[in-house]
Amino acid sequence: MSTVKREIPTDRHITYQFQTRTCGKANCTQCSNGKKHGPYWYAYWYEDGEPKRCGGYKRGKLRTAYIGKVRPQDAIEKK
């Protein structure tokens, strides 16, 4: 196994999403059929933003990490 996973920060508010995705490959039959891939779990979080002159912080860059098919332990199912 050599699956590379992006490091998910532990000091951030992480949002989990269970979703299908397109892979972006032009000749992918699965995506061109509209089936996409997954669904898989993904983690989303914001990087540190720039401090604003008027106070507060600008939102940082949105980052995402692939988790896989297993539901992350701290992903709470919301409706």
Give residues in contact with Zn ion (CB under 5 A). 23, 28, 30-31
Distance, in Å, from the CA atom of 72 to the CA atom of 77, rounded to the nearest integer, reads 11
Helix (H) or strand (E) holding 37: strand 37-46
Residue matched to tokens 């692939």: 66
Nearer to Zn ion, 34 or 56 (CB): 34
Distance of closest approach, residue 31 Cβ to Zn ion, in angstroms: 3
Tokens of 4: 């590379």
Nearer to Zn ion, 17 or 22 (CB): 22
Distance of closest approach, residue 26 Cβ to Zn ion, in angstroms: 10
